[in-house]
Amino acid sequence: EAAVTQSPRNKVTVTGGNVTLSCRQTNSHNYMYWYRQDTGHGLRLIHYSYGAGNLQIGDVPDGYKATRTTQEDFFLLLELASPSQTSLYFCASSGGGAETLYFGSGTRLTVL
């Protein structure tokens, strides 16, 4: 069974704070993704990667950085968090080439 693990499950920070969301996959997948989920907008792609050291820009990248340190690990960084980044964040992995995405359980981030 494909596995994608996100941490933390919940995070509260203040405006201007520094936040790192973590994602690890044990699927041996090349592709990893960060999405945010907001009511009325569905899932929007922030950043993605097709291998260690690679980073691709998604549709809503402003205010976010990401880093893929290994094939398994993908991090999302908010260096100056703002209330507009309050959201539910999902990480996913896939083998690429029109294959299925496997999602983690999400991280709920609140920026006060």
Partner 1 sequence: GDSVTQTEGQVALSEEDFLTIHCNYSASGYPALFWYVQYPGEGPQFLFRASRDKEKGSSRGFEATYDKGTTSFHLRKASVQESDSAVYYCALGDYSGSWQLIFGSGTQLTVMP
The footprint of partner 1 (CB under 8 A) covers 4, 31, 33, 35, 40-45, 48, 50, 56, 58-59, 90, 92, 94, 96-106
Which residue lies nearer to partner 1 by CB, 73 or 102?
102
Residue 16 CB, shortest distance to partner 1, in Å, is: 29
Torsional sign, CA 29, 34, 37, 42: negative
Query: What SS3 class is residue 14?
Result: coil
Residue appearing with tokens 């991280």: 107
Which residue lies nearer to partner 1 by CB, 17 or 102?
102
Which residues make Cβ contacts (< 8 Å) with residue 2, sequence separation at least 6? 25, 26, 27, 29, 93, 102
Which residue lies nearer to partner 1 by CB, 17 or 73?
73
Residue 3 CB, shortest distance to partner 1, in Å, is: 11
Residue 30 CB, shortest distance to partner 1, in Å, is: 9
CB 45 within 8 A of CB 62: no
CA distance 19 to 24: 17
Which residue lies nearer to partner 1 by CB, 43 or 77?
43
Residue 106 CB, shortest distance to partner 1, in Å, is: 6
